[in-house]
Structure 1
Amino acid sequence: MEVLVLTAIIGVIALVFAGYKANFVAKQEQGNDRMKEIASYIEDGAMAFLTREYKALAIFVVVLAIVLAIGLSSIATAVCFIAGAICSVCAGYIGMRVATKANVRTTNAAMEHGLGKALDVAFSAGIVMGMCVVGLGIAGISIAYKITGDPTIVTGFSLGASSIALFARVGGGIYTKAADVGADLVGKVEAGIPEDDPRNPAVIADNVGDNVGDVAGMGADLFESYVGALLSVITLGVVAYGEDGIKYGLLIAGLGIISSIIAAFFVKGDKNPQKALNNGEYVSAAVTVIAAGFLASKIFGQFKPFIPVITGIVVGLIISKFTEYYTSEEYSPVKRIASESETGASTNIISGLSVGMMSTVGPIVVIAIGIMIAFIGAGGNQEAIHGLYGISLAAVGMLSTAGMTIAVDAYGPVADNAGGIAEMCELPENVREITDSLDAVGNTTAAIGKGFAIGSAALTALALFVSFIEATGLTGIDVSKPEVIAGAFIGGMLPFAFSALTMSAVGNAASAMIDEVRRQFKEIPGIMEGKAKPEYAKCVDISTGAALKEMIVPGMIAVIVPILIGLLLGSEALGGLQAGSLITGVLMAIFMSNAGGAWDNAKKYIENGVHGGKGSEAHKAAVTGDTVGDPFKDTSGPSLNILIKLITVVSLVFAPLFVAYGGILL
């Protein structure tokens, strides 16, 4: 099918554009020797972590590939699985490599040329991550399907992407929050020193964490969503419309990449970085919508398949706005948390929990409406398979501009690191003002990116769930059957158990970090006066070791539990498990991500001078709330996106096994 060749070529174009932008970043000046030294600490720490993580994951990939080859009697599926894992690794590695080079160059651009140039450098690093994700995703799955011609084999590619994504998100999240909590509680609260102060031993680990969690981890997350959406549109498209169904879904994704490349040239501005980034997102969405309508008319002779695509794009934008409302300091929820901080940490935490819980209402209602519009709009009330295909198109529509969305999100950690370098190198105040303005926008884009990731996870998981039902030949799932109810309860419990494990992992790692920072403050003479250099490497090593150790158990849950339920209770019970995990997983992900984002920005709002400002009792309470919210928004919450998708992908990949041998206990 020539469309597979075309989409693979578009993937290559995305990678070429990523190379062009990476070269632009590399050519920028790094600044003085002190700036280069600090940047080298961050880059070395980030790459050391990623290298150790990938070595550990290589063992997991080999073992699971053997299980796939033997258990499914399919070497081709195992090869696709390895290819998906390698593509995910490459996207994360390249994206983070460029991000760790861009941070100091952004700082220097702010110092030498001002806001516009600094924005250009930081965003260029972000677009490298975005283009690597979508380029490797669409090229990989197009080539895999072109070679095999079998959607059931291509599921292995998606499983490879999902497996790496979960460990990358969990490992990166544990790393970054252990460092962040240690740096904040001992540095800000106990020692009373500013954020990113070079006297803080955990400050380098904290900056490294921004990269491994919010660049590599986030990129792997959306790479997995992107691949999963493409897989679902292949598996359902071929049933609904034959080759035309596959052609339309893949071309939407391909044109979304082209629109993101075009939109990247619209991100310019030396006054309002938020407006510049918004311009990029709006242009990419507009171009994609126009192209999707034209293609629907050309391929199908009707606009029904176009309705789910535009529905997915609109749902993504609305969820992002809800996320912005609940997490931005410009709106009442964050201001309310800041106000409650005046009466102590307990009221701050109560208020933050309330905001997080309430923030689930809007996105869930929008997702539910979006699902119904996508199903009915695609013709599901006349032909069910057309409606189910419509749901997969909604997921593709939402993710069609993922290249731009990821770029805007990955820009944030680069800007954050740039501010940290400016602080540690004691650069002029105006430089820090520029990097702070970029970082403030980055906080908002990161929160919006998390909302987008959750929405795309919900639609992608639902589309893969539908693909599972098709693959197993189920006509429906009867909730009156005890095994289905049992599966649903177990599935509903999994996000809670997973969150408990990841939160506990952050707590354990943070405790070790706090002890180390306190030790250095106590045992290294002159550290507080700036006369002695902290032992940054020890803090980096603590975060690295803890993250790699603690990510194993949560990661294995998503792989082992679906296989056990499918074999012991059968395919229908496994369908119940997927439904249960999808519902509670999406709710928990929204709640945790938004509560954490709101706590974070309530702290920043107080630091801007309200309610007593820095050092006040309200500020201390807000810092405590922020440290509770840190693992919420950067570890457990984002990781739940991948958990629910990985459960559905594992179920889909092993579906033939469950059909043949499932229900041993029944």
Structure 2
Amino acid sequence: MGGALLSETLSEILIPVAAVIGIGFSLLQWLLVSRVKVGPEKASSRNNGVYNEFLLDEADEEGTDVRNAVPKCAEIQNAISLGATSFLFTQYKYLGIFTVCFGLLIFLFLGSVEGFSTNQQPCNYDTAKMCKPALANALFSTIAFVLGAFTSVLSGYLGMKIATYANARTTLEARKSVGKAFITAFRSGAVMGFLLAANGLLVLYITINIFKLYYGDDWEGLFEAITGYGLGGSSMALFGRVGGGIYTKAADVGADLVGKIEQNIPEDDPRNPAVIADNVGDNVGDIAGMGSDLFGSYAEASCAALVVASISSFGNNHDFTAMCYPLLISSMGIVICLITTLFATDLFEIKAVKDIEPTLKRQLIISTVLMTVGIAIVSFIGLPSTFTIYNFGAEKVVKSWHLFFCVAVGLWAGLVIGYTTEYYTSNAYSPVQEVAQSCKTGAATNVIFGLALGYKSVIIPIFAIAAAIFVSFSLAAMYGIAVAALGMLSTIATGLAIDAYGPISDNAGGIAEMAGFSHKIRERTDALDAAGNTTAAIGKGFAIGSAALVSLALFGAFVSRAAISKVDVLTPKVFIGLLVGAMLPYWFSAMTMKSVGSAALKMVEEVRRQFRDIPGLMEGTAKPDYATCVKISTDASLREMIPPGALVMLTPLIVGTLFGVETLSGVLAGALVSGVQVAISASNTGGAWDNAKKYIEAGASKAARELGPKGSDAHKAAVIGDTIGDPLKDTSGPSLNILIKLMAVESLVFAPFFATHGGLLFKI
């Protein structure tokens, strides 16, 4: 009795309390960051009109006009914030229209399963029991879809706001020390990480409890309706990632090709007309898009686990605490990540540049070790000692410690994938250094070596994913895979803090360059950015690995919900689906890369025009027209995000309706197997080219110095490789994660319709 009471208390208290604590902690971090003033303070005669807040040792400010640089810092930050906000609001108008239209589609498709009947129907898995009518499932799935879409958009927007709020503050703190700048950037990233994790958890928990008031004992219908939450989050993430990726890469390519190669000026030189658009793009793509992406992964993994569990002994016995096990994992993750964050911001001090990267990596290791203990606690308190899981027509007996191992194997597999990704993308290791050395003979050999590295980097992550799948499926069938995915995402708050830290530091460096701060300040911000690039690669590894596990879990839930007894690849219609599904990631990548290329072409032409037609621009006596470049990126991204998004959203609907659930299952399997490989190779190839360029620019080793300074032939070859890799690592690669998840969760939501009305071509 005492154990049952403790278990019930765990779900009723830990989940909402952890979410509220996460939101409170993020607001505290925001408050601490806000203490760094960017606006003008009251001047006094003592400091000759220089702002009190920024009166520092002028020996540290050689070559800096502090009176001009500090106000300009605020001016640039304001321009970046306005540009990012304007773009997101415009994008969200389009997404609002899409949400309404697609929500209506969900209601019509699911409502038509039983002819919009309001009568109760026999349940899918227990026909002796009556479940709520299909019309109710249609309505609540639509509501869940809208809630998921709203939470995803909110997550991206809040992340963008804190990033644009913190970038200039990081620059100003870099005047004091690299340690203070690090804390400002990391705390700002933590705001995004904890807000996203806590908001997602809280909204999902409240939604389940509200829906439960209507569904009562019909847990099968309740959690099938909840799958709309994952679909809403993932669909917003797709457009956010694609649109933001096109925006930032169009500006980045234009700034690099004309600025670095043709005009031989620094990356963030204020004379470059595309520099503001480039900094805006970092926020709408790498912050807002990434936030929506990882929120989608969390929502989908939770929904997959809840659907599978609803037809287990949890659902039959109406054990709400055990059903909420996926949410308990996320709750414990917030608590663990909060403790972990203190190690970076309060318990250890960054005294030198060399301390930055180890501190960030230590965050990942500490959170993983502590989370392993946290998983054990919620597993042994929140779960019954023995229970059964539905497994493709049979029942599998599972013990609580089995689920502990499933979550733990996902957690540690993510770390393995992350560090493997770092090995292949960090210039501290031989693979990237070999790519840099290949630049001696030009861009062609750089491209060859980079592609080879990307293909080779797929090997270890795939084995890690395969091992996680084998162990988790052996212990707890498809439910084991779903909670393994949640294990990989359980430290999402820390992962997002590290990911968001990178673009914030990158923007801080750009602001330092444009505002005219000394070279010493730029060196500090570059050191912050370099460490962020390395650890961001680890984050991409987590995202790709979790996408694979989430997609497989959703696929298993779809097969169960569509009442498919088995998927036979030797059946022609299944094999055709496999081929088409394997092709989709290549088609999608081609569309996104061409979109970046088309937008970049216009950007390059505009930047060249300004350098050619504006007198005094190169000399620094005239200001470039930043607004035109921002408009080019905005218009192109909004226009070009529609075709790739339509491809992903329409494919399951067309295949399921015309060819049926067997062919659709083949498409999902093919897209999963192919998409993971392409995503890993694309992301790592682009990351390797980026860091090969930085390796040459830093000149930190004899081998790097031999390749020549900035502007040398080897450096130009590296810049070309980096420019080619930009759409791979920041648009196509991350977007493919969403493709494989989104197609699977969309198929799961529409499964009742496909199972009853699908396969029209075979019925004619």
Same fold (TM over 0.5): yes
Give 2:152's aligned residue.
88
Give 1:16's aligned residue.
24
| Partner secondary structure for residue 201 of structure 1 | coil
Q: What pairs with 1:44-193 in structure 2 (closer than 5 Å)?
A: 44-73=82-111, 74-111=138-175, 113-149=176-212, 150-193=222-265
Q: Does 1:219 align with 2:291?
A: yes
Give 2:623's aligned residue.
533
- CA–CA separation in structure 1 for the residues paired with 2:685 and 2:402: 38
Q: Does 1:344 align with 2:421?
A: no
Give 2:569's aligned residue.
479
- CA–CA separation in structure 1 for the residues paired with 2:518 and 2:15: 48
| Partner secondary structure for residue 475 of structure 1 | coil
Evaluate the alpha carbon distance shift between residue 241 and residue 123 of structure 1 in structure 2; reply closer, same or farther with a 3 A threshold.
Answer: farther
* Aligned amino acid, residue 315 of structure 1: A
Q: What pairs with 1:309-458 in structure 2 (closer than 5 Å)?
A: 309-376=407-474, 378=475, 386-458=476-548
- CA–CA separation in structure 2 for the residues paired with 1:439 and 1:387: 42
Q: Does 1:199 align with 2:265?
A: no
Give 1:27's aligned residue.
35
Give 1:574's aligned residue.
664
| Partner secondary structure for residue 304 of structure 1 | helix
Computing the radius of gyration over CA atoms, which structure comes out larger, 1 or 2?
A: 2
Q: Does 1:464 align with 2:547?
A: no
- CA–CA separation in structure 2 for the residues paired with 1:234 and 1:5: 19
Deviation per CA, 1:167-218: give whole Å up to 9, x if none.
0000000001000000000000000101100000001111111111110011
Deviation per CA, 1:9-38: give whole Å up to 9, x if none.
422321222222222222212261111111
* Aligned amino acid, residue 15 of structure 1: I
Shift of 1:56: 1.0
Give 1:252's aligned residue.
329
Shift of 1:375: 1.6
TM-score where L is the length of structure 2: 0.85
Contact 1:202 1:517 in 2 (8 A): yes
Equivalenced residue count is 657
| Partner secondary structure for residue 760 of structure 2 | coil
Contact 1:266 1:280 in 2 (8 A): yes
Deviation per CA, 1:610-662: give whole Å up to 9, x if none.
21131111111111111110000000000000010000011000001001101
- CA–CA separation in structure 1 for the residues paired with 2:191 and 2:253: 29
Give 1:509's aligned residue.
599
- After the TM superposition, which parts of structure 1 deviate over 4 Å for at least 4 consecutive aligned residues? none
* Aligned amino acid, residue 237 of structure 1: A
Contact 2:564 2:662 in 1 (8 A): yes
602-611 or 178-187, which deviates more: 602-611
Give 2:363's aligned residue.
280
Give 1:641's aligned residue.
737
298-307 or 94-103, which deviates more: 298-307
Aligned to 2:378, which of 295, 305, 310? 295
- CA–CA separation in structure 2 for the residues paired with 1:252 and 1:546: 40
Shift of 1:115: 1.2
Shift of 1:280: 2.4
Q: What pairs with 1:578-593 in structure 2 (closer than 5 Å)?
A: 578-593=668-683
- CA–CA separation in structure 2 for the residues paired with 1:599 and 1:4: 49
Give 2:114's aligned residue.
none
* Aligned amino acid, residue 663 of structure 1: G
Aligned to 2:750, which of 654, 657, 661? 654
Shift of 1:245: 4.0
| Partner secondary structure for residue 37 of structure 2 | coil
Shift of 1:307: 0.6
* Aligned amino acid, residue 25 of structure 1: V
* Aligned amino acid, residue 120 of structure 1: I
Contact 1:352 1:595 in 2 (8 A): yes
Deviation per CA, 1:552-597: give whole Å up to 9, x if none.
0101111111111111111111111100000110000001000000
Evaluate the alpha carbon distance shift between residue 245 and residue 569 of structure 1 in structure 2; reply closer, same or farther with a 3 A threshold.
Answer: farther
Aligned to 2:712, which of 606, 609, 616? 616
Contact 1:4 1:143 in 2 (8 A): no
Deviation per CA, 1:371-405: give whole Å up to 9, x if none.
101122x2xxxxxxx32111111001100000100
Shift of 1:451: 1.1
- CA–CA separation in structure 2 for the residues paired with 1:281 and 1:314: 11
Contact 2:239 2:645 in 1 (8 A): yes
* Aligned amino acid, residue 128 of structure 1: V
Give 2:307's aligned residue.
235
Q: What pairs with 1:486-497 in structure 2 (closer than 5 Å)?
A: 486-497=576-587
- CA–CA separation in structure 2 for the residues paired with 1:230 and 1:13: 20
Shift of 1:241: 4.1
Shift of 1:282: 2.3
* Aligned amino acid, residue 384 of structure 2: F
Give 2:392's aligned residue.
none
Contact 1:596 1:633 in 2 (8 A): yes
- CA–CA separation in structure 2 for the residues paired with 1:497 and 1:278: 36
443-452 or 311-320, which deviates more: 443-452
- CA–CA separation in structure 2 for the residues paired with 1:554 and 1:530: 40
- CA–CA separation in structure 1 for the residues paired with 2:647 and 2:726: 23
Shift of 1:5: 6.2
| Partner secondary structure for residue 72 of structure 1 | helix
Contact 1:240 1:389 in 2 (8 A): no
- CA–CA separation in structure 2 for the residues paired with 1:227 and 1:583: 21
Deviation per CA, 1:295-343: give whole Å up to 9, x if none.
3223233411111111011110000011001000011111111111111
- CA–CA separation in structure 1 for the residues paired with 2:16 and 2:202: 4
* Aligned amino acid, residue 304 of structure 1: H
74-83 or 293-302, which deviates more: 293-302
192-201 or 467-476, which deviates more: 467-476
Contact 2:23 2:199 in 1 (8 A): yes
Contact 1:5 1:142 in 2 (8 A): no
Aligned to 1:306, which of 399, 404, 413? 404
* Aligned amino acid, residue 87 of structure 1: T
Give 1:383's aligned residue.
none
Shift of 1:476: 1.5
| Partner secondary structure for residue 163 of structure 1 | helix
Q: Does 1:556 align with 2:594?
A: no
| Partner secondary structure for residue 28 of structure 2 | helix
Deviation per CA, 1:255-301: give whole Å up to 9, x if none.
00111111111114323111222232222222211121123223233
* Aligned amino acid, residue 64 of structure 1: F
Contact 1:4 1:142 in 2 (8 A): no
| Partner secondary structure for residue 300 of structure 1 | coil
* Aligned amino acid, residue 275 of structure 1: P
Aligned to 1:263, which of 319, 334, 340? 340
Contact 1:234 1:245 in 2 (8 A): no
Give 1:40's aligned residue.
78
| Partner secondary structure for residue 270 of structure 2 | coil
* Aligned amino acid, residue 41 of structure 1: A
Aligned to 1:630, which of 705, 713, 726? 726
**Matched-pair identity in %:** 50
